């Protein structure tokens, strides 16, 4: 917590700089919200992300306007959130959410070596759908050249989490209104086959039993 940007001003008991805790969140998440400024204009870009070692991996089209800014090394702030539940308390004021969240600061570095790009593209697909790369054609040279791959070091970050029941004021504890948590889960539906797919191949296990 030596960086002033990650020092909590309220509820410090919910905030940590635990790398393993950050990894557990980043490894479950599919989407990162990447915030940065282009001139005076702030943008927040939702992007697929994957953690590889001590880096968060991002990718996009070389032609992408905002991704080009990231590749130039502008300062970014990335937010990754897993929503675990809605907390219903006795008083409107105490309603809350249970969540696990990471905020990460730094500058992305573009990866240009084709071999490393191929490895990171593989890792990104495997992060999103584990097992998929064994079944799918890997990117060719032209596709890799058209893809920008960025790594953002996981160095300056904070983890914030909330779990458990509502925390109501003593004056409300005698209230008989229902209170507690509504857990929220991300649930995959049944896979829908592409109608253009020739033949009738079996749905792979990683699609049939997709879980997050």
Q: Should residue 125 be labelled a site residue for ligand FAD when binding is judged by CB under 6 A?
A: no
Three-state DSSP class for 32?
Answer: strand
Q: Should residue 129 be labelled a site residue for ligand FAD when binding is judged by CB under 6 A?
A: no
Q: Should residue 127 be labelled a site residue for ligand FAD when binding is judged by CB under 6 A?
A: no
Q: Nearest-CB residue to ligand FAD?
A: 60
Q: Should residue 31 be labelled a site residue for ligand FAD when binding is judged by CB under 6 A?
A: yes
Q: Should residue 35 be labelled a site residue for ligand FAD when binding is judged by CB under 6 A?
A: no
Q: Should residue 106 be labelled a site residue for ligand FAD when binding is judged by CB under 6 A?
A: no
Task: Give the residue with the Cβ less far from ligand FAD, 63 or 134.
Answer: 63
Evaluate the CA torsion angle 22, 25, 31, 33 in order and state its sign. Answer: negative
Q: How far is the CB of 130 from ligand FAD (least distance, A)?
A: 17
Q: By CB under 6 A, how many residues form the interface with ligand FAD?
A: 12
- Burial of 17-55, coded b for 16+ CB within 10 Å and e otherwise, reads eeeebbbbbbeebbebebbbeeeeeeeebebbbbbeeeb
Beta carbons within 8 Å of 164's beta carbon, 6+ residues apart: 98, 181
d(CA 141, CA 110): 17
Task: Give the residue with the Cβ less far from ligand FAD, 52 or 66.
Answer: 66
Task: Give the residue with the Cβ less far from ligand FAD, 112 or 163.
Answer: 112
Residues in region 45-104 near ligand FAD by CB under 6 A: 45-48, 59-61, 64-67
Task: Give the residue with the Cβ less far from ligand FAD, 21 or 66.
Answer: 66
| Whole-number Cα distances in Å, 147 to 55, 60, 105, 110, 128 | 18, 6, 23, 11, 17
| Contact footprint for ligand FAD (CB under 6 A) | 31, 45-48, 59-61, 64-67
């Amino acid at each position: 917590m030596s960086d002033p940007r990650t020092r909590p001003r309220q509820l410090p008991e919910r905030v940590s700089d635990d790398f393993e805790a950050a990894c557990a969140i980043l490894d479950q998440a599919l989407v990162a919200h990447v915030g940065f400024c282009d001139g005076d204009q702030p943008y927040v870009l939702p992007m697929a992300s994957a953690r590889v070692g001590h880096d968060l991996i991002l990718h996009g089209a070389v032609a992408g306007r905002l991704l080009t800014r990231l590749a130039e090394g502008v300062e970014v702030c990335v937010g990754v959130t897993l929503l675990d539940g809605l907390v219903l308390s006795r008083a409107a004021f105490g309603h809350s959410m249970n969540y696990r969240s990471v905020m990460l600061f730094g500058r992305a570095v573009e990866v240009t070596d084709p071999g490393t790009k191929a490895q990171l593209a593989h890792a990104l697909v495997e992060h999103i759908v584990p097992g998929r790369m064994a079944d799918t054609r890997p990117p060719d040279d032209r596709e890799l050249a058209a893809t920008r791959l960025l790594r953002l070091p996981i160095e300056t970050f904070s983890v914030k989490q909330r779990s458990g029941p509502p925390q109501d004021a003593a004056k409300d504890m005698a209230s008989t209104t229902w209170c507690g948590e509504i857990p929220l889960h991300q649930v995959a539906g049944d896979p829908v086959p592409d109608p253009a797919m020739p033949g009738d191949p079996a749905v792979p296990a990683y699609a049939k039993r997709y879980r997050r």
